[in-house]
Chain A
Amino acid sequence: MIRKSPSHKNMLPFPTIVAASAGNIDAINAVLKHYEGYIAVLSTRRGYDQNGIPLRYVDEELRRRLEIKLIKKILAFKVA
């Protein structure tokens, strides 16, 4: 049995990609939803609470920035 790598397991369907790059709002939302987990991982930062205990938290500012950047770039994507 060949184990597929995670990126192969679930990819966005082709029509969604076409619609999203054309500016369809529902499709763009689907893309954002699809990359929600990856965005959360990227925007996780390590810090310390008042007692000096290490903790991880999601940097909301970074999360928003990533979402906005992704939307901007989806619209620039050319389906060759």
Chain B
Amino acid sequence: MERSSSNNKGKTVQHQFDSFCRKVLKGEASNYRKALARRLQYEVTFSELSEKELNQLYAMDEYATDYYLFQVMGYDVEVKDELIGEALEALPEKKRNIILLSYFVDMSDAEIGELMNLVRTTIYRHRTSSLQQIKKYMEGKADDKKKSEP
């Protein structure tokens, strides 16, 4: 009698174990499928990304040697473009300061004049003539490049 009952118990455990294993496997498979479906909602191919989104995926290191650094009246001005940096460097200091203050720090002629103890018109004259100088310098550089290239 006891033997048969222990045998029955074994049978029961066998059944329990079998259904337990099947349930575990089935549940895990459905979890996997659900996880895949969830991921699919957010998956985008690189070719579908807009340029703006692509740009968010990486960052470029910036080094102090990569740009020209000018200091004017306590402002640090960084100039990335090589040609403009060189042209600015070729200008006399006073003129360079005016250009930097007006175009990089966004000051008006009157404000700059106040800062440098000059009249607004003087600043204006300096600014326009420096622009001409820069233009000449850059054109000369561009011509040099054209000559050396072919």
Count: A-B pairs, CB below 8 Å:
50
Answer whether residue A11 sits at the interface, using C-beta atoms and an 8 A cutoff: yes
In the complex, are the beta carbons of A73 and B20 less than 8 A apart? yes
Q: Which chain A residues lie closer than 8 Å to B15 at the CB level?
A: 11
Answer whether residue B21 sits at the interface, using C-beta atoms and an 8 A cutoff: yes
Q: Interface 1/0s, chain A 20-60, versus B by CB < 8 A? A: 00000000000100010011001100000000000000000
16 A-B pairs besides A43-B29, A79-B13 with CB distance below 8 A are A11-B14, A11-B15, A12-B17, A14-B10, A14-B11, A14-B13, A35-B21, A35-B22, A38-B22, A39-B25, A65-B28, A66-B29, A69-B25, A74-B21, A80-B13, A80-B16
Answer whether residue B75 sits at the interface, using C-beta atoms and an 8 A cutoff: no
Do most interface residues of chain B lie in helix, strand or loop, or is the interface mixed?
helix
Complex Cα gap A12–B131 (Å):
91
* Partner pick for B29 among A12, A31, A62, CB 8 A cutoff: A62
Q: Which chain B residues lie closer than 8 Å to A31 at the CB level?
A: 21
Q: Which chain B residues lie closer than 8 Å to A38 at the CB level?
A: 22, 25
Complex Cα gap A7–B21 (Å):
12
Subset of 13 A-B contacts with CB under 8 Å? A7-B18, A11-B14, A12-B17, A14-B13, A14-B14, A17-B13, A17-B14, A17-B17, A42-B29, A69-B25, A73-B20, A74-B21, A80-B13
